[in-house]
Amino acid sequence: MLELLNLHPGFLENKKTVYLKHSHDVYDVYMATKLFHEVHETIFVVCPNLYEAQKYYDLFNQINDEQDILFYPTDETLTFMMALGSPEFRSERLYTIKQLMTQKPFIVVLTQHGLSQRQLTPQDYQESVKTLKKGETASLEGLVRYLIYSGYDRVYTVEKPGEFSVRGHIVDIYSLNDEHPFRLDFFGDEIDEIKHFNVETQRSFKQLEYIEIAPMHELFYTDEMKELAIKRINKFFSKKTLSLREEAKLDEDIEHIAQRNQLDGLGIYMSFFNVEKTNILSFSNKHRLIYVDVEKMKLNQEQTEEDLKTYAMTMSGSAFLKLPFRLEFSELIALKHIEIDHLGFNQDKGIDLKVSKINEYQGNLLLFYHDMVTYSKTYRIYILCKTKSFEMEIKSFLINQKEKVYNKIGNEPGFYVLGIEGYGSFIAHQEKIVILDEVQIFSRRMRKAIKYRSVLNQSSKIRTTDDLNVGDYVVHYDYGIGRYVGLKTMELSGEKRDYLQIVYLNEESLYVPMDQIDMVLKYATHDGMKPKLSKMGGKTWNKTKTNVRMKIKDLSDRLIKLYATREKTEGFKFEPDNEMQLQFERDFLYEPTRDQVKTIIETKSDMETQKPMDRLICGDVGFGKSEVAMRAAFKAVLNQKQVLYLVPTTVLARQHYYTFKDRFEKYGANIALMSRFVTTKQQNETLKKLSKGYVDVVIGTHRLLSKDIVFKDLGLLIVDEEQRFGVEHKERIREIKQNVDTLTLSATPIPRTLQMSLLGLKDLSMIETPPMNRYPVQTYVVERHDALVKEAIMREIARGGQVFYLFNRVQGMEGMVKRLQRLVPEARIGYAHGKMNRTQLESTLSDFIEHEFDVLVSTTIIETGVDIPNTNTLIIHEADRLGLSQLYQIRGRVGRSDRIAYAYLLYDPGKLINDEAKKRLSAIKDFTALGSGYKIALRDLSIRGAGDILGAEQSGFVDSVGVELYMKLLEEAITGETMDQKKPTQIDEVFAARHVDQSYVSEDSRESRYINALVNLIILKMLKI
């Protein structure tokens, strides 16, 4: 498409600043791309904020080879000063610096804050890159020291970029430079081998001759640089009058610099490590600057100054504001550049490009034609078609309007329909060209997939959730509930052996040898309650186990009976996929994930058998369960069967209704909604249509379980979050399920052990692969201050978005709303909590979805439920009071669209946070990628999932022995073999070593895990499994 547009001389000019006005973002991107290809220099495109930068980055990626486009995202000023930023942004910036240092030309998209951010010098970066070769002499201690200097975290198992581990003579390193991590095997001071290894399996797979390791942080420094910087800092502040609080902060920061920890919060001291005025431009020898909307940047600058003044007052941080932590905007704007003014603020200067935007037509072809027919007399109208079906449809429509249609680029005015993908629409009045793409004409049908690829997205799935940590409660099969206090090494007959030490009532200790580790399970319950310790040798434990076994017998009998009934029942056998089914699936604009594809195949295979389907699909919110459900529903409709889609809330029902209507309507399917949002008259009309077969898919709440609902031919039941329905409703669902194919969707994972127990009783699909092409949620852990809260809310409102403000106390909520209203008067604020009646609560949520207000102050009721893509800022008032799984699920409410989302985990100013809360907040901050929180919170969530599936009547018995042992007992009941009856496996002959040296595994929990895995492996090998 570039050949259609003439590059204005103003774009090629590089002798002075050139001003261009009345442009459009898509036109800017085409022009900058054309400039890039003509001058073969790096083009820096500077945007006023991160929202605009993200938009431009996505557009550049769609038009260009994504290898040519770089992103340099930075935090806003206050978060940069106050908070510990996301590792995702930092890694993206470092990757951009690394690429620029090759001196190849790129298009770099950044913000004005990014341009003003100081950096170490290119020479510092060049010298910091370390090359290691196979066979060369290298000090292992020196390598560890270098990795710590360069911002790498020492861990026990390397799983993501920026980590390294040392086990004896083996060093694992995960650098930004490579897709896979490295494993170095030292023989003395010589590097004997270098290999890649797989993060999932931890197995090495490819020999390498040499590797390059680069810093993982922008603030990296040697001991000499550190000492010099601390001297400069002390000298700078010696001339300032500091408050006690400022003195404490300074001492703390200097300690962090000395210890090289919490580096993300120390960027304000960059100028003391590098006195030169170095920024991102310093890394490219030949480049050009394009500023987009400088007037907005000037307003931003004024707002930043205001925010910093507020920060100084609320934080007593005036001394820190005098730090030269950024380059002055006035200096940067003075550089030679191309300045694009979209709105034409400066009417008296600049070249008028005369570019304007086009309306979205939402599939209304007559409106599109009405707008374009006048232009077609003198303009060339290019309609760019991604799909063949759209190309045929638009050609047919224009021919019916008696228009001549050209099918290749030409010079005549009129309509041109081309079978190439477009990436935006605009009218260029000077060139007399109109560019229209498929999205612009059918905006309701089409959505553009972004092309963001995280440099940290190689992180592995969690491999275990069962690590034992000192202080954890455990349950021994024979002795009951105790507290794990660590591994103890004892020497018996000259041989060292490791034992798990478990403390019981009255401080009695049990020492469990490592070859009996499978008798010990982690104790966990549905609500995290602390258990009473068992008495060693007492009768109470055996009595508890007997009671639980009796209750489990009832459950297992019911499960086995259910299985037998299901095997005998005959259902409807659906036809294999036809062309219309395949076309419906092609309408899905995103690439399905690996797990989605597997689940779709499993679901459709079930439907094509005579036996009624009963499949449970587990997967996080946004992982694609709804798409599986829609494909199953469409298959049912094509087989002349009706579909009942049950959801727990009216708000969800309405959301699903519009989604289904959007996808199904072009195929002539009738979709109906049944909820309290629908009038009685409409409900009665739907009831008649259902009974006569005129409705294909009906979506609604428990209203659809009423006895007056009659289907002509129900073929598929889809239940979303069944555990949220009441007991009576669950019974009604069971009645409907008996001879109808059933798909149950759940966002709460269930334990692996429960999956094994239900094997054959309920088919299970797990969607654990996170969707691609989403920006990670940028997560900040920071003291709560009005200036930061105001900045976060204002930034979201400015981009047309909405905010969740989590305030987890019903009392005081109205006061919190008033306080926020005073802080941000222009914001429309509502509130919601669990003590509201259901109608009021759902109305509030519905109003928020409809953007009737900007900020929703809420308790943790937002933890589960509706999907609101326009809400992309989350502020948690007292994040240190929440559990890890809660933090994860609440953060999952934002970042569900193609916008960069923000989560602010706030705590009271000056509050000393306990170690447990610090760990939780650190974990949730470090794991920003979609799906990674799922890994860290998996254990808590799966316990909840176990309770949901087993039901409330079993929960008391689960608590008495813990989830893990309960599952073992359930498995015993189903298989008919108890652990007492199992013949113990003799493993002494092969398991000679009963002690692991600490140089290989330096943490008790890891040692117990590895030994447990080794025991299991040996048993499997002996049994020839």
Averaged pLDDT for residues 815-835: 93
**What values do phi and psi take at 741, rounded to 5?**
-60, 130
Averaged pLDDT for residues 585-603: 88
pLDDT at 465: 36
Averaged pLDDT for residues 263-284: 87
Averaged pLDDT for residues 552-566: 74
357-441 in CATH: which number?
Answer: 3.40.50.11140
Among residues 746, 765, 788, the alpha carbon closest in space to that of 949 is found at 746
> Could you tell me the two tokens for 248?
């404490």
Q: From its phi and psi, is residue 624 left (phi > 0), alpha (psi between -120 and 50) or beta? A: left
What is 86-107 written as a DSSP string? -HHHHHHHHHHHHHHTTT---E
C-alpha to C-alpha distance for 645 and 650, rounded to whole angstroms: 12
| pLDDT greater than 60 at residue 1023 | no
Class of 2-122+279-352 in CATH: alpha beta
C-alpha to C-alpha distance for 997 and 911, rounded to whole angstroms: 40
Answer yes or no: are the C-beta atoms of 808 and 878 closer than 8 Å.
yes
**pLDDT single digits (tens) 9-22:** 766 777 788 888 88
**What values do phi and psi take at 436, rounded to 5?**
-130, 135
**pLDDT single digits (tens) 842-851:** 889 889 988 9
C-alpha to C-alpha distance for 720 and 655, rounded to whole angstroms: 13
pLDDT at 443: 60
- The mean-pLDDT minimum among 319-323, 347-351, 375-379, 731-735 falls in 319-323
> Could you tell me the two tokens for 815?
């006061």
C-alpha to C-alpha distance for 931 and 805, rounded to whole angstroms: 23
CATH 3.40.50.300 fits 778-929, yes or no: yes
**Domain boundaries, given as residue ranges, for the chain:** 2-122+279-352, 130-213, 357-441, 473-559+956-1022, 574-767, 778-929
CATH 2.60.120.10 fits 473-559+956-1022, yes or no: no
Averaged pLDDT for residues 233-261: 86
C-alpha to C-alpha distance for 81 and 1004, rounded to whole angstroms: 38
Better-predicted residue by pLDDT, 107 or 953: 107
SS3 482: strand
| pLDDT greater than 80 at residue 949 | no
- The mean-pLDDT minimum among 320-329, 361-370, 965-974, 1006-1015 falls in 1006-1015
> Could you tell me the two tokens for 524?
């966990």
What is 139-205 written as a DSSP string? -HHHHHHHHHHTTPEE-SS--STTEEEEETTEEEE--TTSSS-EEEEEETTEEEEEEEE-TTT--EE
| Band of residue 694 on the pLDDT scale cut at 50, 70, 90 | very high
**Cβ–Cβ contacts within 10 Å for residue 1021, how many?**
11
To which residue do tokens 């995702």 refer? 88
Please name the helix (run of DSSP H) or strand (run of DSSP E) that holds residue 455, with its range, or none.
none
Do the domains spanning 130-213 and 357-441 agree at the CATH topology level? no
- The mean-pLDDT minimum among 30-44, 158-172, 645-659, 774-788 falls in 774-788
CATH 3.30.2060.10 fits 130-213, yes or no: yes
H helices of 768-859, in order, are: 786-798, 813-823, 838-849
Among residues 462, 260, 488, 471, the alpha carbon closest in space to that of 937 is found at 462
**Verdict on whether the full-model pTM lies above 0.85:** no
Answer yes or no: are the C-beta atoms of 802 and 851 closer than 8 Å.
yes
C-alpha to C-alpha distance for 22 and 910, rounded to whole angstroms: 50
What is 660-675 written as a DSSP string? HHHHHGGGT--EEEES
Count each helix (H run) and each strand (E run) in the chain, helices first: 35, 39
**Cβ–Cβ contacts within 10 Å for residue 984, how many?**
8
| Band of residue 735 on the pLDDT scale cut at 50, 70, 90 | confident
- Looking at every residue in the chain, the average pLDDT score rounds to 81
Among residues 516, 579, 970, the alpha carbon closest in space to that of 761 is found at 970
> Could you tell me the two tokens for 883?
């559990």
SS3 355: strand
To which residue do tokens 């001058």 refer? 39
Spatial neighbors of 239 by CB under 8 A, at least 6 apart, are none
- Look up residue 882 and give its amino acid: L
> Could you tell me the two tokens for 85?
């930023």
- DSSP-derived letter for residue 384 is E
Answer yes or no: are the C-beta atoms of 449 and 414 closer than 8 Å.
no
| pLDDT greater than 60 at residue 206 | yes
Spatial neighbors of 483 by CB under 8 A, at least 6 apart, are 471, 472, 473, 474, 502, 503, 533
| pLDDT greater than 90 at residue 527 | no
CATH 3.40.50.300 fits 574-767, yes or no: yes
According to DSSP, the β-strands at 405-406 and 414-418 are parallel
